[in-house]
Structure 1
Amino acid sequence: MVVNLEFIRAIITAEEVLLLDPLRQEVLPFVEQLRQLLLHKSSSNHGSNQLIAQDHGMQSPTAGKWLPVPDAADGLQAELPFEFQVLEIALEVVCTYLDSSVAELERDAYPVLDELARNVSTKNLERVRSLKSNLTRLLAQVQRVRDEIEHLLDDDEDMAQLYLTRKWIQNQQSEALMGAMASNGIVPTAPHLRRLSSARSGSLVSNYLNDNDVEDLEMLLEAYFMQLDGTRNKILSVREYIDDTEDYVNIQLDNQRNELIQLQLTLTIASFAIAVETMMAGWFGMNIPCSLYNIHGIFELTVGIMTAVCVSLFVLVLGYARWKKLLGS
């Protein structure tokens, strides 16, 4: 069995585990739990001495004698065989790592997004950009592991192929059965399974060696599939909050742009009114003889009239712009 779960890359057999890069920081929890599992398995093997009997319907020189069961058959007494115990540890470590990463992402995301909503600045935008990069990376990791588990759950044949201990026991039993029959000159008509010394153990072996029985692995994968699905929902919730914050910021920026446009339009109207007054002042500033120049106090009156006309023009154009809803009320 080849396991490639993010940072955990290993080859698992019915008896051993080959781990790539075991000194990596993220892999150390997996190594520690795996060491505890192997120590527990070693102590269990040392303290137990399981025996197996030959089939009653088969006569051989060893009939009636007790034979030791191979070490790999110890998985019969455990809830899961060795390879699934290792797989469970790997899934647990990966899911724990992803959960902690998502929790850290949530802890950092909400304050950053709230700060961006209050103050749109280059620094806050850069922090949100980094946050979105981490979110995309985490979502891809969770989705990748989740898809692999879902693919296994959809195919019972693939799950059956992962029962390495069951295959190993079946091969050992087939070899022992063929060897015993060959020594007695018996041609087997159908394969038989050896029974354990007790009826209860024999029932366990029959159920365990059923090629179509993948319930244990299915329950294991479904549990971690649900956990990964919950982690994925947390990430999607954070991404939705980011999208809502970005929409809010865009609305704020649009509102500010509208205010700037309105200010620019107001200044343009004022510039137009002042330009009209400047034009009239230029007319009267020409060096052309005029009888109005001889009237006492005509300067103040002319300036007042020109200013009043320009102010009236400004108010008139501004009112027209408001009537056309070019300016806010």
Structure 2
Amino acid sequence: MGKKPGSSSRTIGWPRLRRPAGSPPPAPMPPIGGSSSPPNNNNSMIVGGGGGGVGKGKKKTGGPKLWMRFDRSGRSELVECDKSAIVRRAAIPARDLRILGPVFSHSSSILAREKAMVVNLEFIKAIVTAEEVLLLEPLRQEVLPFVDQLRQQLPHKSPFQGAGHMDEQDNETHVSTGRQWLPVPEATEGLQYDLPFEFQVLEIALEVVCTYLDSSVADLERTAYPVLDELARNVSTKNLEHVRTLKSNLTRLLARVQKVRDEIEHLLDDNEDMADLYLTRKWIQNQQSEALLGAAASNSIATTSPHLRRLSSARSGSLVTSNFQGENDVEDLEMLLEAYFMQLDGTRNKILSVREYIDDTEDYVNIQLDNQRNELIQLQLTLTIASFAIAAETLIAGLFGMNIPCTLYKMNGIFGFFVGGSSAGCVLLFLLVLGYARWKKLLGS
């Protein structure tokens, strides 16, 4: 029969037994199999130990490295920072630090980021911003000249040379950013313009690297020419080993010069990459944009003295869209890179001239060896002709040594004449064959 709607089914089972108050709880049932041993509580310790083993097996991250910090005024300090601190300070991707690592120790690259420039030129590994330089491994012997140049030149250079006299001019305009006054592009016309801070550092780095490569090429030239001249005079295993080592050093040096030259050429071919390297320009534009936005919000753009006029809306708009000479103007950087590109091209030509001298010396040595080989072949041919003539006389002597009865044996005094005549015939045969070989130009004249 069907169940009426709304009715509930009722389960019939055993009645529940209530435990009297105060009675102890029943003992737990033993597990199946009769084992009554308590459960092992050391599982968590084993897992923890395994986790520790896995943790020890992980690759350790690199610790803090030694960096040297230079600011605009030339002040420097040594600091130890890890990768995360450098990434936060310079606002660069973490992968850019791999370029400064030992894997790319002899590579050359100049990368432009939003607020920094990553420079990896030979032994110089630095991160340049609009306000400071972070130099990796500053105590290396090759890096010390770069550190000395930074200490000597940075205090004497300023990206706004003559800015201290701006307040004395009546036709100047400034924009307040809350912390400092920034010059308006129109107000800097007629002033002596110097390279921005990041290009000053880049110029010093290129100068140190080019000087180092030039000195390396000069040392190579001083070593190469005596070794090659000695090889031309005396072809020996020792001299050949010296030339082989020389060619290996030349190939490595040429590759290093070529890498720096190709990197500069890559920048010269792309104006957008060069424009991205203007960190000071972007920094000033950001400061001016913040100043204009703050001034527009508070409507309180004011001048610093009665001699300074207020900014018009057209001039205010030009602050954001232009800086000194425009966003796309890369003439200063292009002239800087072209100068060092020509210097590196000259260094490369010196290396190529040394390699050409090596090739000429090798050709000369090969000609000498070929000449000696030809002389040996001529000597071998002459000895072969002489052996043929002597073999003819030996044939005659062998024929008479068979003890066959002959009337010549009974003639007295014929032995001397016969031996002399056969020897003369062999000499004549030798001269005839030798003359034929010279006539066919098989032997030298």
Measured against the shorter chain, the TM-score band is 0.7 to 0.9
By how many angstroms is 1:8 displaced? 1.2
Q: 1:102 aligns with which of 204, 207, 217?
A: 217
Deviations 1:272-322, CA, capped at 9 Å, x for gaps: 111111111111111222221121112111111110111111111111111
With the length of structure 1 as denominator, give the TM-score of the two structures.
0.84
Q: 2:181 aligns with which of 65, 69, 84?
A: 69
Q: 2:317 aligns with which of 183, 186, 192?
A: 192
Equivalent residue, structure 2, for 1:131: 246
Equivalent residue, structure 1, for 2:207: 92
Higher relative contact order (CA 8 A, sep 6+): 1
Which is worse superposed, 100-109 or 260-269?
Answer: 100-109
By how many angstroms is 1:206 displaced? 5.9
**8 Å contact kept, 2:281–2:323:** no
**8 Å contact kept, 2:174–2:182:** no
Q: Separation in 2 of the partners of 1:208 and 1:189? A: 16
1:1-329 pair list within 5 angstroms: 1-40=117-156, 48=164, 53=173, 68-69=180-181, 79-184=194-299, 192-193=317-318, 208=324, 210-329=326-445
**8 Å contact kept, 2:285–2:319:** no
Query: Kindly, what percent of the aligned residue pairs are identical?
Result: 77
Q: Structure 1 counterpart of 2:241, which letter?
A: E
More helix by share: 1
Q: Structure 2 counterpart of 1:273, which letter?
A: A
Which is worse superposed, 146-155 or 285-294?
Answer: 285-294
**8 Å contact kept, 2:118–2:126:** yes
Deviations 1:161-188, CA, capped at 9 Å, x for gaps: 00001100100110111112122399x9
Equivalent residue, structure 2, for 1:201: none
Deviations 1:218-261, CA, capped at 9 Å, x for gaps: 11111111111111111111111111111111111111110000
**8 Å contact kept, 1:50–1:68:** no
By how many angstroms is 1:77 displaced? 6.5
**8 Å contact kept, 2:285–2:323:** no
Instruction: Give the structure with higher Rg (CA).
Output: 2
**8 Å contact kept, 2:118–2:127:** yes
By how many angstroms is 1:69 displaced? 2.9
**8 Å contact kept, 1:102–1:235:** yes
Structure 1 unaligned spans of 5+: 56-61, 196-204
Q: Structure 1 counterpart of 2:354, which letter?
A: V
2:317 alignment partner, SS class: coil
Q: Separation in 2 of the partners of 1:113 and 1:54? A: 66
Change (3 A) 1:28 1:67: closer
CA RMSD in angstroms, aligned pairs only? 3.1
Q: Separation in 2 of the partners of 1:135 and 1:10? A: 27
